[in-house]
Each structure stands twice: as structure tokens, then as C-alpha cells.
Amino acid sequence: MRTHRTTKLFAAALAAAALAPAALAEEEIRIGACQPITGRFAFAGVNINAGLQDYLSWANEQGLVKGKKLTYIYEDSGYDTDKAVATFKKIMAQYSPVIMYGESTGLGKAIAPELNSRYKVLYASASFSSELADPKTHPYSFVSGPTYSDMFGILLDYIARNPKGKGKPRVAFFYSDTEFGKDPIAHAKKRAAELGVEVVAEIVTKVGAVDVTTEVLTLKKAQPDFVIFQGYVLAPIPEVIRGARDHGLATTFMGTFWSVDKSIIDKLGQDAEGYMGVNPYAYYYEDAPGIVAMRKYNERVHPGEKYRPNSYIQGWFTGMVYVEAIRRVVAAGKPVTGDNLKDALGTIQDWDTGGVTGKVNFVNNKAGVGRVYRANVQKGVFEPASDWIYVK
Amino acid sequence: MLIGNYKESYAADEALFRTPAVRAWMGVLAVALVVFPFLAGDYLLYLANLVGVLAIAALGLNILTGFTGQISLGHAAFMGVGAYTTAFLAARLGLPFWIAVPAGGAGACLAGMVVGVPSLRIKGLYLAIATLAAQVVAEWVFTNWTAVTGGIRGLNVPAARLLGFPFDTDRRIYFFIVGLAALHATFASNLFRTRIGRAFIAVRDRDLSAELMGVNLFRTKILSFMISSYYAGIAGGLWVYFTKVVTPENFPLSLSIQFLAMVIVGGLGSVKGTLYGAVFVTLVPEVLKAGTQSLRPLFPEAMSWLYPLRDILFGAMIVGFLVFEPHGLAEMWNRTKRFFALWPFEK
């Protein structure tokens, strides 16, 4: 009799043990990330990781997803595609998250076949490559903001509306011979023609090339009103701007996401005067409610951090999209799976982000919104030069 | 305890695996390699495939650098040529993998022949710089010859198929990769028992003496370049079917240097050393990462400097190898074996 009871108890305990993880798993939503915390993209990776992690903890604190806990699992992937794919598979095998974050365009492309056929998880990355926002080839991945092509579209839109003098605005594209540099150029040329903006020069260089004498002379000959940089983070942007100023060019220089961080003003010094660029997100020092909440969280949790760069806000915003998609799936009473999350993403229209960015509409797996900013050297900050500009 | 190794026939003398113990261990290894994919998870399988592909390419570099004494900084470029040849044939012309992969090897082989030409006139560091040029030119071609290479976006390649059976998962392609790696390792081991292989070694040890002995220097060096690049090309072709996409950013100079690291850590002029080197250079950073990862609960805020620590540690290990065991892992293994050959007795 006694033995019988013990067996029963034992069986019950076993059953409880077997059920416990299942019950827990229901409560927990796992988000995995391959972050470039080392390697040549670490300058951004560390911040993207911090931003994403902070947003998810903030969302947990606020109880944004009722009855569920968001768990963030990240590993360093070193900005090396092979290592990143290994890391991706490792996290998938170990934790089977429903959402993943990836470090680069390269990882997005390499993982795509298996993401579409096997893993089927919602995927975002540090990349703004238009290739990853193609719902046909990359149905599970999205770009958390506008693509580089969209950013060019926003800048060209601004140029067309704010020309210098009479006649067609003259613009030059200055880009690196990398995937990052060339990605938006074809679209940009098409868009310029549509908007009546004349592309007077296209200059291609290596990344970080310091001798830009010939390139500056080309600019002098072409006399563009605007020059848009793409595919650089810093070098050779300061060299080109300084060279152009030495030759007395009155050209306005512009950059896309990676070259409009506040730090570029510090690096350029006086030469930053008049420098412009497109940023999909608001800056850390702006007073939009979403940004204020972010600052308050940082003051409380990381009192040492006085400033957060754009890449931090990129990570934070990606977290916002993840959570919004999860909330929509949960609200619809569906299980939180990659497929449902992917479908929920498409329903995000006119979404108010509290001013972290403009109104968000997910069309073609990206949110085509951004704002043009102008550097204010005295204050050392970028200030809005336009309202939020929307592109398709 | 083994006290001697007597051979009673020419066949025994010519055998690749000479003692029963070695044959038994090779059998164990073969069984382990066949069983492994059924036990390993996605992550380990992926790493195993990566090691397999890189090992084939590193074998090629060891033939050139370790056995023939010609330093090359362009090995990744040859792998790229092979990869793009394979990808072009598979993606654009729809040829099956059993044509596309050997064609990748052949394409790289031709590229190696051209790049090898200056080796008759220049040696050592000068040759290294000449091959560096090949690396730069290849990267430029990959990026800009859009009609063939697909430019910066590269080419997407369908999974390999044999009689309608797709090699689309890591587990399936594993057999393909390990099979070819074993084949190429055996070929390399046998190569140095032939006249050609001996000529390579003679050129490495003293090219003038080799020429006096009747070795045609030009032919030998070019042949070494060709075989070496062929290996890289095959690795590139396999890599394409393994990753299903190829872009110019996949074959940077740092990969060429990584191959040199494999060959040096493993042991210059040693086939099995190359395999150890490929395993070491690929897996040790992962192990170190797992180590730093396990420290995370203790230092949750410190990951941004704990992760780079791994790279520093890895660098220190390579320096350690060069200082304490310049002949690489292969020699360490041999010493261990010699120690146990007499153990527990002492010399």
C-alpha cells in the first residue's frame, strides 16, 4: 500500500516536473540575437545590443505584453558571416526563440534559405539593405526603418523641395565600392530623374581612402549643389568636406544613417557647419515622449550613460517593433510564432511610436520614414530641417 | 608496447597507414565521422562543415607554402574564383554540382597557374606581395564584373541535387564535404610519395640544388600553384553549396591570413597538421566564446570587454605556438605519441 502511494507520488512529481517547463515556456517569449560586439562593426553593435536589451527590459517592467515575459538571449558574432551563421544556429538550437536579430546584410542573405524553410522566425538586423526588405525572397525579415534606398529618396525629396537657386538641383553621389555603398544607387538615380534632380557626378572610392584630391577636383568640376555620401561611417567624409571648403565650394554635404551621429560633428569641428543628413529616428536629446521615456530609463538603470548614439536608438526601435508585433499576435489570441509575428508586422499601419520616429507603416517589410537634420556646430547637435518625410 | 615495425613486402612498405594500431584508429575515426552528424545538433554540424571546407583549402595552401616553400597571401582569392565559377555554372547555367564543383577547382587551377608565373623570378616576401596583388585584383573583379558575379549582391545558388535528392540541409551536405575532404587529404598524403611531391620538397629545401638534380623549377613551382589553387577552388565550390550564396565580401584578405594561421599552427609541411590547424583555428574561438559566455551571469555588464578578451587570448595562443612549438600541432601530437610509445618506462 505504502509502496503504491510512493509510486503515485513519484509519478505525480514526475508529471509536475515534465509539465513545469511547458507551463514556463508559455509565459516566456524568447528573442535571440547575434550581435557584432567585437569586430569592425563593434562601434555600433555594442550600442544596438544595449538598445535592444534595454527596450525589452523596459517593456517587461511596463508589462507591455500581458502575462508574458520577454527573455533576451544574445551572443557575440564578431561581424564575420560564417561565425554569425554558427551563432544563429547555436541560439536556435539551444533556445528556439521566435524572434531573432542579426548583425549584418551578409548574415541576412546567408541565413535566408533556412530562415524561410526551417526556422521561420521573425528576423530583423542592423542592416538597412533594400535586399532584405524584399517580401518575396525574405518573407520573415524586416528592416527596422527605411532602407538605404528610402533614405536617398527622403534626401532627394528634400532637395527637390528646397532647391538652391534656379534650375534643376544638381546633386552628386559619393559612395564606397561595397555592398553598403552601392545598395541604394540604382534606385537613387531613378528617383532623382522622377523628382527632376540632376545627378551631375558619381564618385566611387574605397572605404577609408584618405587621399581624395582627385575626387574633390571632380566635385569642383561638376559643381553640385548637394553631395550625398553613402557607404562610409567617417573617413573619408571629413577629408572630402575639408578639401571642398579649401576649393571654395559652397556644396551642401549630406549623409545617411551611419554618418549622421552626433559624433561626426565633434570629428568635423567647424567644417560640420551646414552638414545635413537623414535619420530614421529622433536623437537622444530630443523631447519626444518616446525619447524622454528612454532617457528616464537610462538615468535610472545606467546613471553613467549621459548620451546614447543613433545605433542605440536603432536597437531600441527594433525592440519596439518586436513588442508591437507580439502584442498584436497576443491580442488576436493566436500563438506567438514566427509566422503569426510576420503577418502581424504587415498590420502595423499609422503606428504612433511616441516620436521615436514618425508614424510607422510597415509596407514591404520596412518602414519608409525619416527626417532631414542639419548640424548646429555651436550646440554640437543635429537639428531637424524638415518634418518626418514618408516614402514608399 | 610497440618495439619495431618490420615490413615483409613492398606493399607493406608502400602502405599509407602502416601499423595495425594506425589502421584501427583510422577505422575508429571513419566510424566517428559517419556517426557524428546523427548525434550532433545544428550548431556542431555547421561548424563541422565549416572546418571541412576550410581544411580542404588549407591543405592546398600547405602544399604550396609548407611543402614547396612559396608564400601566398592570395589563397582566399583562389577560393573565391572557385566559388564564383561554381556559383555561375550552377545559378546561371543550371549545371549540376558534380560538374560545377570540379569546374570550380579547374577555374581556380587556371587562375593559380597565371598567378604562379612570377614565382620563377621572385621568392619569399616578394612573392607574398605578388600574390597579395592577386587577392586585390580578384576582390575587385568579384565586385565589379556584375554580369558574371552578380556584383555586390552576389549569386544565390540552389541546393545541390543528386538523382533528385537535394543536399539542402547541413546534415546532408556534411557527407559530401567530409567525403571530399577525406579524398583530398589522402591525395595530398600520397602526393609527397611521388616524384612530383618530392620535387616540391626539394624546391622548398634548396631550389638551386633541386635544379641541379634535374627538377624543372618553373614547371614544379607552377604545378604547385595549380594544385594548391585547385584545392582552394574545390573548397570554394563546396562552400557555395554549403552557404547557398556567394558575395565579394566572403573572400577578404583576412581569410587568406586565416589560412596561413591554420597552416602555421597546424604545422608547415604536414597534412595531418593542416587538419589539426583547421580545427584549431575554427573551433578554439568558439570554445573561448562559450567560456566568456559562461562568465556572463557573474559579470552581466562586462560583456563588451569580455568578448574582445577572447580575441586577445586567441592571439596569445598563436604567439605561444610560434614560440614554444614552431612545428605546430602536428609535432606536438608526435611528441605525445613518442612519450606514450615507451610509457610507463622511461628512456
Tens digits of per-residue pLDDT, B12-38? 878 888 788 888 989 999 999 999 999
For residue A205, what is its C-alpha cell?
A: 572610392
Q: Does A178 touch chain B if contact means CB atoms closer than 8 Å? A: yes
Tell me the per-residue pLDDT of B51-76, one tens digit each, with 9 for 90 and over: 999 999 999 999 999 999 999 999 99
Residues of A in contact with B57 (CB under 8 A): none
* pLDDT of B170 higher than 90: no
Q: Does A303 touch chain B if contact means CB atoms closer than 8 Å? A: no
| CA-based nearest distance A2→chain B, Å | 42
* CA distance linking residue B307 with residue A35, whole number of Å: 11
Average pLDDT over residues B332-345: 83
Nearest by CB: A106 against B168, B170, B247: B247
| CA-based nearest distance A48→chain B, Å | 12
Burial class for B185, CB neighbours closer than 10 Å (0-12, 13-18, 19+): middle
Q: Give the pLDDT of residue B162.
A: 81
* pLDDT of B78 higher than 90: yes
Tell me the per-residue pLDDT of A179-235, one tens digit each, with 9 for 90 and over: 889 999 999 999 999 999 999 999 999 887 678 999 999 999 999 999 999 999 888
Domain boundaries along the sequence of chain B: 45-156+164-342
Q: What's the CA angle centered on A214, arms A208 and A215, to 5 degrees?
A: 60
Nearest by CB: B43 against A38, A78, A86: A86
Size of interface A-B (CB pairs under 8 A): 72
Q: Give the pLDDT of residue A6.
A: 52
Q: Does A368 touch chain B if contact means CB atoms closer than 8 Å? A: no
For residue B54, what is its C-alpha cell?
A: 576550410
Which residue in B53, B307, B309 has the most chain A C-beta atoms within 10 A of its own C-beta, making it the best mutation to test that interface?
B307
Q: Does A103 touch chain B if contact means CB atoms closer than 8 Å? A: no
Query: Is the ipTM of this structure higher than 0.90?
Result: no
* Cβ partners under 8 Å of residue A119, min gap 6: A92, A100, A111, A140, A338
Domain boundaries along the sequence of chain A: 12-146+287-360, 148-279+373-390
Which residues between 45 and 74 in chain A have a beta carbon less than 8 angstroms from any beta carbon of chain B? 46
Report the residue of chain B nearest A105, measured CA to CA. B153
The class of domain A12-146+287-360 in CATH terms is alpha beta
Tell me the per-residue pLDDT of A292-330, one tens digit each, with 9 for 90 and over: 999 999 999 999 999 999 999 999 999 999 999 999 999
- In contact, B259 and B76? CB cutoff 8 Å: yes
* pLDDT of B304 higher than 70: no
Q: What's the CA angle centered on A141, arms A135 and A147, to 5 degrees?
A: 75
**Do the Cβ atoms of A83 and B285 come within 8 Å?**
yes
CATH code of the domain made up of B45-156+164-342 = 1.10.3470
CATH 3.40.50.2300 is the classification of domain A148-279+373-390: yes
Q: Give the pLDDT of residue B179.
A: 94
What are A360's strand-pairing partners? Answer: A351
Report the residue of chain B nearest A86, measured CA to CA. B43
Q: How many CA within 13 A on the CB side of residue B196?
A: 17
Report DSSP state, residue A251.
P
What is the per-residue burial (b if ≥16 Cβ within 10 Å, else e) of A3-26? eeeeeeeeeeeeeeeeeeeeeeee
Highest mean pLDDT pick, A76-80, A322-326, B160-164: A322-326
Does A148-279+373-390 match A12-146+287-360 at the fold level? yes
**Do the Cβ atoms of A182 and B250 come within 8 Å?**
no
What are B161's strand-pairing partners? Answer: B166
